[in-house]
Structure 1
Amino acid sequence: MSDITLVAPVDLDAELDRLAQRYSRAGSGAVDLLNVIGGRAEGLLDRLPQQARTGLQEATRKALEQAMKVAHGSRGVVPDQKGWLNTVVGTAMGAAGGAGGLPTALAELPVTTTLLLRIIQGVAVEYGFDPASDNVQFDCIEVFAAAGPLSHDDGADLGFLSARMTLTGSAVQTIIARVAPRLATVLGQKLAAQAVPVLGAVAGAATNYAYTSYYQEMAHVHFGLRKLAIEADVPVEELVARLRSRIASRAVT
C-alpha cells in the first residue's frame, strides 16, 4: 500500500483575515511620521522646490531601473535579512539622507529604492516565488504601485494586484514606466519630509521607518494573495475583492 500525503485544506477566511491585519498595519507608522514633520501629507509636495518636483518622475524611473539591476545582482552576495533588521537599516539610511536636507535626500533616493526592492524580493522568496523570474520581477515592481504610507486609502490601492500585463522581453521596462509616476508622488512626499528644516535626520529616520515598514507589509499582502490564489485555486481578483471588503469593514469599526 503506497503512502499518500494528505494536504490540509486552505482556510480562506483565516488567511484573508491575517492579510487584512497586515494591510491595516502597513500604514501605522505614518501617523507618527506626520506628527514628527508637522502638517498634512497632501501639502508635503508643495514644500519641494519647483526644480525638484519637475525632475522627480524621471529621477524615480532611473532609481527603479537602477534598483532592479542592483537589487537582483546583490542577491548572490548579500542574503535576505529579517524584517526588523531591514527596518533598522532603512531607518539609519533615512537619518543619513535627511541630515543634509534635500541634496542628501535626493542622493539617498536610489539607495533606499534598492533597499525597498530587495525587501520586496525577500518577501517573494518567503512565499516560494523566484525573484529571478520575469513575472515575479513584474510583481515586485507592482508592489511600488501601492499608495504609500502617507496616502493610505482603505483598500483602493489593492487594484494593482488585479492588473496584469502580457509578459514580453520589455515587460519590466514597461511596468517601470507605468509605476514611476505614482511612485514619484509617494517618494516626493518622502523627500519633502526629509527636507524639513531643523528636523533633518529625525525626519529622515521617521520617513524611512514608515516607508520600509509599509512596503514590507504590502509585499506580504501581495505575495500572500498570490500564493493563496494558487493553493486554494481561487482567482486573485476574487480574493482581492474579499480582502477589500474586510479592510473596509475594519475601517468602519
Structure 2
Amino acid sequence: MRPDIDTSQMTPADHAALMDAVRRLEHVGLALKLANIVGRKVNLIKDMAPEKAIKAIDGATMAALKLGLRVALASLWGRPIRDRDRAHKVMAAASGAAGGAFGIASLPFELPVTTTVMLRSIADIARAEGEDLRDPETRLACLEVFALDGRAPGENITDSGYFAIRSVLARSVSEAARYVASRSVIDETAPAILRLLAAVAARFGVVVSQKLVAQATPALGAVGGAAINVAFIEHFQSLAKGHFTVRRLERKYGHEHIQAEYQRIAAAREPDEILPPAPAA
C-alpha cells in the first residue's frame, strides 16, 4: 500500500475506474433488475414470507456459502484462473432453469451450485485486478462480495454504504484469514469461519429472498428462471468488479485517501459525471 500518495495525484484512468466502482457499488440492488424480468416489483421482506420459506432461504443460504468455500475457494490455492465470464453465466443459467421449473423446492439444490459458480467467477475478477489468490485474506474478500448488495434509495451512505459494510465485516474477515493462514486450509466448521459466514449470510439471504420471489412468479418456467440466474450472477460480478477495483486503488494510493474520494464521488448530486480528483489540502 502507498499511503504517501494521495488521490490528488490519481491518474485519469484510475479516477475513472474509481468512478465506475462507485456506480457499481452504490445502487438500488438486485430487485430492480429482477422486476424488469418478471414485470412486477420484487421486494421481499423476510418477515412477510411464510415461516417455511424463511427457514428454506436461511438454510440454503448458509449451505451455499459453506459449499462455495469448500469447493470454489479451497481449490484455488496456487492455481491460475482463466477469465470464464461467459461460461460462468451459462452454468448459472442452467441451474436457474431448474429453479424456474421447480420453484422453492429446488432452492436447497440450485442455490449452492449457483453460489459456487459465482464464487469462482468472483475469484477470476479478483485476480484480474491484481489480487493474489494464495493470500487467505484475498480469498475471503471474494466471499465478502456476497454481502455488498447496494443501499436502498434514501438511505444514508454513512449507514449502509460500501465502506460501512466493509467495516462491519472487517473483524470477521481478519479473524477468519488468520485462522486459514495458520492451517493452510479453509474449514467451514471453525468458529472464526462460521462467524464470517453468518455475517455474510445475513445480507446475502436478503438478495436470495428477492431471487426466490422472482422465481415464484406464476408461469415463469425454466426460461425465466435461467434469465433470473443470469441477472443474479451479473449482479455479483459487477459488485466484485467494483470491490476489487477499490482494493487495487487502495494498494496504490492508500485506504484513507481512496475512501475519502469514493465518498466524495458517491455524495455528488450527479453520479454519472466524472468528477476530477479533489485538490490536495
Q: Same fold (TM over 0.5)?
A: yes
Q: Residue 86 of structure 2 is aligned with which of 84, 87, 100?
A: 84
1:35 maps to: 36
2:82 aligned counterpart, secondary structure: coil
Partner of 2:128: 126
* Residue equivalent to 1:54: 55
Give the letter aligned to residue 42 of structure 2: A
* Cα distance, 1:16–1:96 mapped onto 2, change above 3 Å: farther
Structure-2 residue corresponding to 1:3: none
* One-letter amino acid of the counterpart of residue 221, structure 1: G
User: 8 Å contact 2:121–2:237 — kept in the other structure?
Assistant: yes
Identify unmatched segments of 5+ residues in structure 1: 1-8
TM-score, normalised with respect to structure 1: 0.79
Aligned-partner Cα distance in 1 for 2:48–2:36: 16
Q: Structure 2-normalised TM-score?
A: 0.72
Report the counterpart of residue 14 of structure 1 in structure 2.
13
Question: For 1:209 and 1:30, how far apart are their aligned partners in 2?
Answer: 13
Deviations 1:181-210 (A, max 9, x none): 111111111122112220122332222122
Aligned equivalents of 1:98 and 1:66: distance in 2?
22
Query: In structure 2, what is the Cα distance between the partners aligned to 1:125 and 1:217?
Result: 15
Provide the C-alpha distance between the structure 2 equivalents of 1:142 and 1:63, rounded to a whole number of angstroms.
Answer: 14
1:89-123 CA-partner distances (Å, limit 9, x unpaired):
32232123212222124420111111111111111
Percent sequence identity over matched residues? Answer: 32
Residue 229 (structure 2) aligned to one of 186, 208, 213: 208
Which digits, 9 at most, give the CA deviation of each residue in 1:228-253, with x for residues without a partner? 11122x12x44134223323434487
AA in 2 matched with 1:160: I
CA deviation after TM superposition for structure 1 residue 41, in Å: 2.6
Note closer, same or farther for the CA distance 1:212–1:23 as it changes in structure 2 (3 Å cut): farther
Q: How many residues align?
A: 242
Shift in CA distance, 29/183, structure 1 to aligned 2, threshold 3 Å: closer
**Pairing 1:131-142 to 2, within 5 Å after superposition:** 131-142=133-144
Is 1:103–2:105 an aligned residue pair?
yes
Is 2:240 the partner of 1:219? yes
Could you say which residue in structure 1 is the equivalent of 2:4?
Answer: none
Query: Once the 2 structures are TM-superposed, how far is the Cα of residue 52 of structure 1 from its aligned partner?
Result: 1.6
- 8 Å Cα contact 2:96/2:229 also seen in 1: yes
**1: CA distance, partners of 2:30 / 2:147:** 19
Cα shift at 1:48: 4.9
CA displacement at 1:138 relative to structure 2: 2.2
Taking the aligned partners of 1:81 and 1:96, their CA distance within structure 2 comes to 26
